[in-house]
């Protein structure tokens, strides 16, 4: 199963919103503050191989712009461009966003894939949120257009620590299931950990990362 959803994804409800994004499969309906920037970076280990992703992001004129880079064996393997915006002003308990982007292979600068995504977030309780994604992914080399989807539950165990349970898939492929933790000791930075299993390939992965806002 393609790992595109790990390359895809705040002021939604409060400064301590239970945001997803980063290394997690399911994105949230939130963007960084206007005029602010952030850096998402994570490392994934799967079937004995490792790969890294770095996404610097800044928000200007209501759009959060990101420049994703993927790494393997010490070199850049792909790069791209992403944009995300809120479709409606967030309320006290829900929000809807739209994101789109593309990735190109560094070898030959070939277009690899293009995606669109609609992240929706709903706050059920002060400590519990639901995130739902629905979109489409076009893989250029295979000329394949498929539906992408995802759902996650984020629960705050303590003010600084949240647990995230999620599932996501593309087209007819079996979904990926994952469980993770997000630790945010300060508003400006957070640490993430996720363990998942791709059901179609029966392979597990471990991802660790961080987010820094400035």
The answer to whether 84 touches 99, Cβ cutoff 8 Å, is: yes
Looking at every residue in the chain, the average pLDDT score rounds to: 89
- pLDDT, tens only, 138-170: 999 999 999 999 999 999 999 999 999 999 999
Helix (H) or strand (E) holding 54: strand 49-60
**Which is nearest to 30 in space by CA: 91, 115, 80, 81?**
91
What mean pLDDT do residues 195-208 have? Answer: 96
**Which is nearest to 28 in space by CA: 100, 125, 94, 102?**
94
What mean pLDDT do residues 58-69 have? Answer: 97
Dihedral (Cα; 170, 37, 15, 70), 10-degree rounding: 30
DSSP state, residue 75: E
Give the domain ranges of the chain. 4-213
**Poorest-pLDDT segment among 19-23, 121-125, 133-137, 196-200:** 19-23
CA–CA gap between residue 132 and residue 86 (Å, rounded): 15
What pLDDT is recorded for position 21? Answer: 79
pTM of the model: 0.88
The answer to whether 178 touches 24, Cβ cutoff 8 Å, is: yes
| Residues found in the chain | 214
- pLDDT, tens only, 172-181: 889 999 999 9
- The correct CATH number of 4-213 out of 3.40.50.2300, 3.30.360.10, 1.10.10.10, 2.40.160.40 is 2.40.160.40
What mean pLDDT do residues 45-70 have? Answer: 96
Confidence class for position 90, pLDDT limits 50, 70, 90: low
Confidence class for position 108, pLDDT limits 50, 70, 90: confident
CA atoms within a 13 Å half-sphere pointing along the CA-CB vector of 41: 8
- Which of helix, strand or coil describes residue 97? strand
3-class secondary structure per residue, 179-214: EEEEEEEECCEEEEEEEEEECCCCEEEEEEEEEEEC
What mean pLDDT do residues 80-84 have? Answer: 97
């Amino acid at each position: 199963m393609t790992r595109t959803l790990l390359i895809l994804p705040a002021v939604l409800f409060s400064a301590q919103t239970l945001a997803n994004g980063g290394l997690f499969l399911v994105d949230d309906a939130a963007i960084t503050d206007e005029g602010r920037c952030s850096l998402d970076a994570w490392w994934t280990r799967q079937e004995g191989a490792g790969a890294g992703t770095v996404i610097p992001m800044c928000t200007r004129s209501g759009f959060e712009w990101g420049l994703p880079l993927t790494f393997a064996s010490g070199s850049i393997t792909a790069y791209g461009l992403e944009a995300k915006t809120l479709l409606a002003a967030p309320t006290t308990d829900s929000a809807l966003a739209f994101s789109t982007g593309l990735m190109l292979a560094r070898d030959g600068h070939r277009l690899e894939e293009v995606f669109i995504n609609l992240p929706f977030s709903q706050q059920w309780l002060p400590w519990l949120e639901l995130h739902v994604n629905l979109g489409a992914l076009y893989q250029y080399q295979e000329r394949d257009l498929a539906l992408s989807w995802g759902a996650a539950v984020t629960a705050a165990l303590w003010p600084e620590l949240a647990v995230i349970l999620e599932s996501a898939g593309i087209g007819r492929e079996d979904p990926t299931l994952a469980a993770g933790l997000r630790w945010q000791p300060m508003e400006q930075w957070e640490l993430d950990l996720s363990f998942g299993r791709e059901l179609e390939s029966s392979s597990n992965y471990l991802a660790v990362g961080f987010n820094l806002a400035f």
